[in-house]
Structure 1
Amino acid sequence: MSTHRPVRFLDRTTPPHIFTLIVITGLGALSMNIFLPSLPAMTTFFDTEYRVMQLSVSLYLGVNAVLQVLIGPISDRFGRRPVLLGGFVLFLLATLGCLLAPNIETFLLFRMMQAVVVVGLVLGRAVVRDMNDAENAASQIGYVTMGMAIVPMIGPAIGGFLDQTLGWQANFWLLLVLGVLVLGLIHRDLGETAQTTSSSFAAQFREYPELLASRRFWGYCACAAFASGAFFSYLGGAPFVGSEVFGLSAAQVGLFFGAPALGYFFGNGISGRYSTALGINRMILYGALITVIGLGAALLLFFAGYHNAYVFFGFTTFVGLGNGMVLPNATSGMLSVRPHLAGTASGLGGAIMLAGGASLSALAGVALTGGDSAYPLLIMMLTTSVLGVVAILYTIRREAQVIQT
């Protein structure tokens, strides 16, 4: 399709509006984090342990990872529009199931089903690629990414306020209402953008061995997984630390919780401005080092006796800043290893990153259960960040070896 077709909002015969793409990707981010300040209250409501309640994060991420591998090929076969519409209908049913769940087992089942909202993230970017050439696609995806960075800043604050005033269920009622509105927006504004539909599902999976044989691909995947692992550990453990260790209310946890997202917003801006000049490897290394320095400083302050929420949450801003520099560049690295397999690399790399994040999120919940200290979480986040530095140093060395040969 032409990259210069006029855009008319709520007219699906024209290219979708950028607002629509931001919204369909942003709802997934909101679904992941809006209820996190409510985890302690939900633990009490369902009469369970925090480590079990925290599975609502790790299981969600795990299913999210699996779906990322599948959604791209499915949409190639059946088209973007029907997969998006079907995915959001399932999201609405899953959200209603979370609200009506009588016990923790039922809630976790429907929570896993909510992960289908990842169709917005995967296909929002695919739609941009369908409608634009490479340069314009990069610009459009940048706007979508910046929009997604704003959602985690405000989501926990909204969720904490709703929990404190109306109860934890209010978060899921809000997701249900927003899901209905987004479904209507997709129906009105987003027509089919895929150029062809083909039986490429099996063919794409047959290309995986070639990609998996590349050490550089694994290096970039490890960089992304370890960088995001620090953040996912935070997702799994910070609500417990805020409420049980520092004694914050749900609304206060929500306000503090957005600290990494603020850093991520600026990290994305740095990547957009300097990645071309510095190169992706240097940007990944600098981002990983910033995260290590920030978390190391927080741990030193804790050892010095400064055990408070301002130190803990304030220094997690460096996690977001580092991730904003690491993740866009590591993703670019994954796609550049085998350019003809860029679509496969995108889905597989995203799945690996989220699978690692789900594991670390669950581990954070286990490590903190029964404790009264933020040390286990800080140490876990610092360890995975150090491993991120090791991963990019290995990748740089491997790239040098490839160039020499």
Structure 2
Amino acid sequence: MTPASSPPHLPTLILMTALSTLSLNMFLPSLANIATEFDTSYATVSLSIAGYLAVTAVVQLVVGPLSDRIGRRPVVLGTVGIFVAASIGCTLATDIWTFLGFRMLQAAMVAGHAMSMAIVRDTRTERQAAGTLAFISMSMAVAPMLGPMVGGTLDTLFGWRASFWFYTGSGVALLLLCWIDLGETYPRRDRKPGDAPPGRPVDLLRLAPFWGFALCSMSSVGAFYVFLAGAPLVAAETFGISTATLGLFIGSITMGFVCGTFLSTRLSKRFDITTMMLAGRLAACAGLGTGLVILLSGHLHIATYFGATIFVGLGNGLTVPSAYAGALSVRPDLAGTAAGVNGALIVGAGAGLTLVTGALMEATDAPVTLLSIMFGTSFAGLLATLWSRRMRAALQREIPTD
């Protein structure tokens, strides 16, 4: 087979996902220096994060359906090419608005994550996809931890523009790798008279099982967003710990996720995806529920408090890969659309929950409020999982899964 017609190797998919994650957070340590050089406020420079997240949601809604029409390969090559050009633009920017404009264009790289999800489903059965997605998800856990460290080092040694030169070089390398290794995986078929018309995005949105899987993903990842929004306040005002120590606790929830995804790679081939989702939601709810009981009984200790939140990471590692695989399997012919819509919904839910958490934390008992919101969000994921199990039975009677 020629490279353009052969499926990509797993390292290529991992790198596509990792760079889409690094594009968000690697340059965070440089925000203050960027504000100083462009003589603008920190709030204005922060648009490079908030605005970027908003654009990624739109990008995923576009590239998902587009890949179901023209294929995965041209979408990946096109969006990585845009990312490279945008990275060069950021590097050469001489004012804040030029910088922000090119920064928004960098959001095209989020297609790497969405397309890697769709490609996995194109080339694997549902249970195999869940295991592979769990493996890829580990890169999403490691990249956020390493990204700011690399970015901070580059900024210290060479200045903030070095991070964007790093983006440029990484993008070029990934583009070459994808050109060589990323073959088309979308199962195109020659249509014959009388064949059913090709699927449309609206066809997917009308299916209740898709929404069950999507809501589970939104709630599961949403609990992590809640933690990121509220943990710094609890750490500073309640426990009086330093930002360095807080970093260890944030890393602990990430390590919980790594453990959960590792278990998923081993167990997903043996158990149905909804069973994996249920196990993850029960783990998250049990850990947070226990933490709440201890807290409400008058025992406030940093170990038990943040120990409870680790179960969110563990539960997400068990749940999210299977929930993603389920969403992409409802209509395999619309896997690209499902990946894009699911990703956009997760970003939107995360943004909304972050705002709600910030508002509630300032007006109430912060430690109780944080665990309560996390528990409520995780419990919503449990309800979505139970709904998915019920809808899945109906779906299997209509559209057999592999």
TM-score higher than 0.5: yes
Change (3 A) 1:206 1:78: closer
Query: Aligned runs of 1:70-85 on 2, under 5 Å?
Result: 70-85=62-77
In the TM superposition, what is the alpha-carbon distance from 1:336 to its structure 2 partner?
Answer: 4.3
1:47 aligned partner: 41
In the TM superposition, what is the alpha-carbon distance from 1:263 to its structure 2 partner?
Answer: 1.6
* SS of residue matched to 1:258: helix
AA partner of residue 261 (structure 2): N
Distance 2:167 2:236 in 1: 23
Distance 2:356 2:236 in 1: 19
Change (3 A) 1:259 1:80: same
Distance 2:358 2:26 in 1: 18
Q: Please, what is the CA RMSD of the aligned residues?
A: 4.5
In the TM superposition, what is the alpha-carbon distance from 1:130 to its structure 2 partner?
Answer: 5.7
2:267 aligned partner: 274
1:68 aligned partner: 60
Query: 1:144-191: CA deviations, max 9, x gaps?
Result: 344444323433554566678877766555434433433343345445
Distance 2:130 2:397 in 1: 31
2:216 to 207, 213, 223: 223
2:383 to 366, 385, 390: 390
The answer to whether the 8 Å contact 1:76/1:194 transfers is: yes
1:284 aligned partner: 277
Change (3 A) 1:159 1:113: same
Change (3 A) 1:82 1:214: closer
Query: 1:376-397: CA deviations, max 9, x gaps?
Result: 5444322211221222234445
1:114 to 106, 121, 132: 106
Query: What residue ranges of structure 2 are gaps of 5+ in the alignment?
Result: 192-196
Identity, % of aligned positions: 41
1:265 to 258, 261, 275: 258
Change (3 A) 1:126 1:338: closer
The answer to whether the 8 Å contact 2:128/2:269 transfers is: no
AA partner of residue 265 (structure 2): G
AA partner of residue 292 (structure 1): C
2:178 aligned partner: 186
1:361 aligned partner: 354
Distance 2:270 2:7 in 1: 32
* SS of residue matched to 1:228: helix
Distance 1:204 1:150 in 2: 38
Change (3 A) 1:289 1:43: farther
In the TM superposition, what is the alpha-carbon distance from 1:221 to its structure 2 partner?
Answer: 1.6
2:12 to 20, 26, 42: 20
Query: Aligned runs of 1:77-156 on 2, under 5 Å?
Result: 77-95=69-87, 100=93, 102-103=95-96, 109-128=101-120, 141=133, 143-156=135-148
Change (3 A) 1:389 1:126: closer
AA partner of residue 227 (structure 1): S
Query: Aligned runs of 1:2-21 on 2, under 5 Å?
Result: 16-21=8-13
The answer to whether the 8 Å contact 2:134/2:262 transfers is: no
Query: Aligned runs of 1:164-179 on 2, under 5 Å?
Result: 171-172=163-164, 174-179=166-171
The answer to whether the 8 Å contact 1:37/1:254 transfers is: no
AA partner of residue 231 (structure 1): F
Distance 2:89 2:248 in 1: 28
2:226 to 223, 230, 233: 233
Change (3 A) 1:365 1:33: farther
1:348 aligned partner: 341
TM-score, normalising length: structure 1: 0.73
Distance 1:274 1:18 in 2: 19
Change (3 A) 1:368 1:151: same
2:194 aligned partner: none
In the TM superposition, what is the alpha-carbon distance from 1:196 to its structure 2 partner?
Answer: 5.1
The answer to whether the 8 Å contact 2:31/2:42 transfers is: no
The answer to whether the 8 Å contact 1:291/1:319 transfers is: yes
2:188 matches 1:206: no
The answer to whether the 8 Å contact 1:236/1:361 transfers is: yes
Change (3 A) 1:384 1:195: closer
* SS of residue matched to 2:41: coil
Distance 2:159 2:234 in 1: 20
TM-score, normalising length: structure 2: 0.74
Distance 2:137 2:339 in 1: 15
In the TM superposition, what is the alpha-carbon distance from 1:140 to its structure 2 partner?
Answer: 5.2
Deviates more, 1:172-181 or 1:134-143: 134-143
In the TM superposition, what is the alpha-carbon distance from 1:323 to its structure 2 partner?
Answer: 0.9
In the TM superposition, what is the alpha-carbon distance from 1:227 to its structure 2 partner?
Answer: 0.7
2:319 aligned partner: 326
1:248 aligned partner: 242
Change (3 A) 1:318 1:160: farther
The answer to whether the 8 Å contact 1:87/1:119 transfers is: yes
Distance 1:242 1:197 in 2: 56
Distance 2:70 2:106 in 1: 21
Distance 2:53 2:102 in 1: 13
Query: Aligned runs of 1:376-387 on 2, under 5 Å?
Result: 376-387=369-380
Query: What residue ranges of structure 1 are gaps of 5+ in the alignment?
Result: 6-10
